[in-house]
Amino acid sequence: MPGKQKTKKFAAMKRMINLKDHRIKEKDRAKGKEKKKKDPSELKEREVLKHPSCLFFQYNTQLGPPYHILVDTNFINFSIKAKLDIVQSMMDCLYAKCVPQITDCVMAEIEKLGMKYRVALRIAKDPRFERLPCTHKGTYADDCLVQRVTQHKCYILATVDRDLKRRVRKIPGVPIMYISNHRYNIERMPDDYGAPRF
């Protein structure tokens, strides 16, 4: 008759004594949580997003010439494909002076794309482009642009990315510049600024 084999117990937990056990001293014993009764007359607190004062009227009062336009990576790439000069086309769209601005994250994204996008990198390093330093960690450009546009309402966002457009449309007072029919168009720009309607 073969001897019984002992099976090894896996993941055996140490037995802990219950804090309500009668052997525990009174001062160490866990006290039952007392439920607070809700007062019906108490005011309910609710978080409401505050819109900045620049959006007090129907349009964003911080927007005005010279326009500061945040440029996304794919906007530069699509401009190259459509053979558009970025600064000139922006001015043709808005009929005013435009200052294209590029963040460190977007610059890093273009650099990561390698040799295939060397023309885009050369355009991004153009002296007419203003460089914006990033203070946050990581180089995810979409989050960076959304955060910047949410904090400061003085930018127009230039992008062709559908997901980024969808995210920015939820933020009030931020116009979006995009490319269609080999020209730049603008979305959600107030009529008061004389921006063209297409």
Whether pLDDT at 40 is above 90: no
User: Between 154 and 53, where is the model more confident?
Assistant: 154
- Tell me: the pLDDT tens digits for 91-142? 998 888 999 999 998 898 899 888 888 899 999 888 999 998 888 777 788 8
Q: Are 30 and 20 in contact (CB under 8 A)?
A: yes
Rounded to the nearest 5°, which phi and psi values hold at 77?
-60, -45
Residue type at position 66: P
Taking alpha carbons only, the member of 60, 45, 35 closest to residue 191 is 60
Q: Which fold has domain 69-191?
A: Rossmann fold (3.40.50)
Rounded Cα distance between 175 and 136, Å, is 24
Q: Is residue 192 scored above 50 in pLDDT?
A: no
CB 75 within 8 A of CB 117: no
- Per-position DSSP letters for 33-68, written without gaps between them: PPPPPPPTTSPPP---PPPPGGGSSSS-TT--SSEE
- The reply to whether the predicted model has a pTM over 0.85 is no
Q: How far apart are CA 173 and CA 164, in angstroms?
A: 15
Cis peptide before 66 (omega within 30 of 0): yes
Q: What value does the CA radius of gyration of the chain take, rounded to a whole number of Å?
A: 29
Assign 158 a pLDDT band (cuts: 50, 70, 90): very high
The stretch 169-188 carries a mean pLDDT of: 87
Distances (CA, A) of 45 to 23, 34, 39, 42: 44, 22, 13, 9
